[in-house]
Amino acid sequence: MSGRTRLLIGLSAALLVLVVVGMVLQAIRTLLWDLSYVLPPWLLTPVLLLGFGLIAAVAVQVVWPWWQQRRKPHQPASTTPGDSPRNRREAADRSLVNVDRLIERLQDDIAREGLQAERDRVSEELTRGDLVVVVFGTGSSGKTSLIRALLKEMVGEVGAPMGMTTAAQRYRLRLRGLERGLQLVDTPGILEAGEDGRSREEMARHRAVRADLLVVVIDGDLRSSELSVVRSIADLGKRLLLVLNKRDLRGVDEEKRLLEVLHTRCRGLVESIDIVPCSASPQSIPQPGRKPIQPRPDVSGLLQRLAAVLHADGEELIADNILLQCRSLDARGRDLLNAQRSREAKRCIDRYSWIGAGVVVANPLPGVDLLSTAAVNGQMVLEMAGIYGVEMSRTRARELAVSLGRTLATLGIVKGGLSLLGAALSTSLPTLLVGRALQGVAAAWLTRIAGTSFIRYFELDQDWGDGGMQEVVQQAFELNRRDTSLRRFLEVALQRVVEPLQRSKPEQLPPRPEPRVVEEASDLEHPAP
């Protein structure tokens, strides 16, 4: 912009300001002139000032906030955890953010690195360009032949023996009218015998989970094992095309009957229109005295259906697949974090169990009741809440501990625990030690049951579930009374509680009887002369 242009704009603006100021002054003069007819001269100025004050107040209350809002830079609406994602991409991004938070909390380096690598792979999936179609089926169904027919070139070794494709192989092609490229993935056969066969099947399933679209190849009626595989994949939310291969080996009537059977078996799993017959590698037709005729592959129906699905729903399939992978990754991260929290919580329970036992042994009471160690258990609950990332007051933790202690007493677990542990301890301890040892060991065992119950409580996001606290406590009791669990607990209890009691000072126990009574009896039998 030249200097002359800027000067003209400045002069125009100044002139506009003068005109506006003149109009305002003229309006004020007109207002004063009109008011002078109805008001005395001494009241004109106060009324005018009052009017200006009202105008200023309106400006401060309305105009100023509006002006401040206009001056703020535009910011996208922030999403809170309660907001619903607007699309699948946003939902996937949120899942990745959750995974990042989970990774920060993991302490195991190997688990953290593995989850981070998987997270990076899924993040790359968000920006990929190709549609991924995985060809899935038994080793003899003709998967590789089908891919070869689709690509119109040899892409792999094909033969009758099962297990010919031992590793997943990718092939890229373009479909007319489809902006994205297409990757066909040939997977190892499923349902093969032997350790190698199971390993290859696991690889094939792993590839299937990452597919945008699955093409399941069969060569006859679905066996129960094949139907179970199809059902498990469909339950993941994957779109399936079921390809009935080797149609050249069947007559028209037989094929029609077989398609009807497949439509019935796959109802609710695969749409009828997505069950397509084809012949990937037709058998040659012999001619006496001449070279056999090799028919061309008949895959046009499959190619048309594949193109129709990818053209209509390709973008949706990619979005659904990526969102599914993100949610699966999020679930895996939560499982790792829950396993870590569970280990830390169990160490916490173990520590407070023996702290509670020490409190009871040091201050023996007439009976054992979890309420007597409510302070110890309340502190345990508070520490467990920190492990699970829950903010909890000390008062709330103590209330939970007392409430669970009452539930233990109501269900008869306190008395049942005393009987169970008393029978086990009485066989290996002298009578003088059973009382105090039983109180301490029982306190530790009941604290362990309470801690196991609270693990369940925190895993359910501070909820006891449909059965309430009583059902959770009962399940924890049954878990801790199992032979293996109880045996391990008693082994540690003997070291932590019983052995220290046995090593305590002799004067803490009643004096042992002296053999003098026996000598007196001997003197009675042989009186002195």
SS3 of 22-38: HHHHHHHHHHHHHHCCC
Q: Answer yes or no: is 259 within a domain.
A: yes
**What pLDDT, on the 0 to 100 scale, is given for residue 46?**
74
Of residues 281, 298, 277, 159, the one with CA closest to residue 218:
277
Averaged confidence pLDDT in the chain? 75
Question: Which residues lie below 8 Å from residue 272, measured CB to CB, with a gap of 6+?
Answer: 263
Q: Answer yes or no: is 125 within a domain.
A: yes
**What pLDDT, on the 0 to 100 scale, is given for residue 504?**
56
**What pLDDT, on the 0 to 100 scale, is given for residue 141?**
79
DSSP lists the bridge partners of residue 135 as 186, 215
Task: Name the residue range of residue 501's domain.
Answer: 338-508
**What pLDDT, on the 0 to 100 scale, is given for residue 516?**
46
Q: What is the largest CA-CA distance in the chain?
A: 153
Do 236 and 382 lie in one domain? The reply is no
Q: How confident is the model at residue 500 (pLDDT cuts 50, 70, 90)?
A: low
Do 392 and 304 lie in one domain? The reply is no
**Comparing 130 with 191, which gets the higher pLDDT?**
130
Residue 156 amino acid letter:
G
| pLDDT (average), residues 420-442 | 64
Do 125 and 257 lie in one domain? The reply is yes
Q: Answer yes or no: is 255 within a domain.
A: yes
Residue 295 φ/ψ, nearest 5 degrees:
-60, 155
Do 388 and 314 lie in one domain? The reply is no
**Comparing 167 with 460, which gets the higher pLDDT?**
460
Res 162 pLDDT > 50: no
Distance, in Å, from the CA atom of 72 to the CA atom of 144, rounded to the nearest integer, reads 61
| pLDDT (average), residues 148-152 | 81
Q: Answer yes or no: is 31 within a domain.
A: no
Do 124 and 187 lie in one domain? The reply is yes
Do 210 and 272 lie in one domain? The reply is yes
Q: How confident is the model at residue 72 (pLDDT cuts 50, 70, 90)?
A: very low
Distance, in Å, from the CA atom of 162 to the CA atom of 189, rounded to the nearest integer, reads 7
Q: Answer yes or no: is 428 within a domain.
A: yes
What's the structural domain count of the chain? Answer: 2
Q: Answer yes or no: is 207 within a domain.
A: yes
Do 307 and 367 lie in one domain? The reply is no
Do 135 and 279 lie in one domain? The reply is yes
Which of 68-77, 103-112, 144-153, 429-438 is the least confident region? 68-77
Distance, in Å, from the CA atom of 451 to the CA atom of 171, rounded to the nearest integer, reads 55
Which of 14-28, 429-443, 478-492 is the least confident region? 429-443
Question: Which residues lie below 8 Å from residue 416, measured CB to CB, with a gap of 6+?
Answer: 477
The gap from C-alpha 272 to its chain's centroid, in whole angstroms, comes to: 34
Dihedral of CA atoms 323, 325, 326, 332 in degrees, nearest 10, equals 150
CB-based contact 186:156 (threshold 8 Å): yes
Do 466 and 400 lie in one domain? The reply is yes
Res 156 pLDDT > 50: no
111: CATH: 3.40.50.300
CA distances from 242 to 139, 143, 156, 214, 263 (A): 16, 12, 22, 8, 10
Q: How confident is the model at residue 425 (pLDDT cuts 50, 70, 90)?
A: low
Residue 136 φ/ψ, nearest 5 degrees:
-135, 140
pTM here is: 0.57
**Comparing 111 with 361, which gets the higher pLDDT?**
111
State pLDDT tens for residues 391-424.
899 889 888 888 888 888 888 877 777 677 766 6
Res 465 pLDDT > 70: yes
User: What is residue 498's DSSP assignment?
Assistant: I
Do 219 and 365 lie in one domain? The reply is no
By percentage, how much of the chain surpasses pLDDT 70? 71
Q: Answer yes or no: is 484 within a domain.
A: yes
Do 275 and 424 lie in one domain? The reply is no
Chain position carrying tokens 């002078």 = 36
Residue 288 structure tokens:
């006496």
Distance, in Å, from the CA atom of 320 to the CA atom of 328, rounded to the nearest integer, reads 12
**Comparing 337 with 437, which gets the higher pLDDT?**
337
Do 343 and 447 lie in one domain? The reply is yes
Q: Answer yes or no: is 302 within a domain.
A: yes
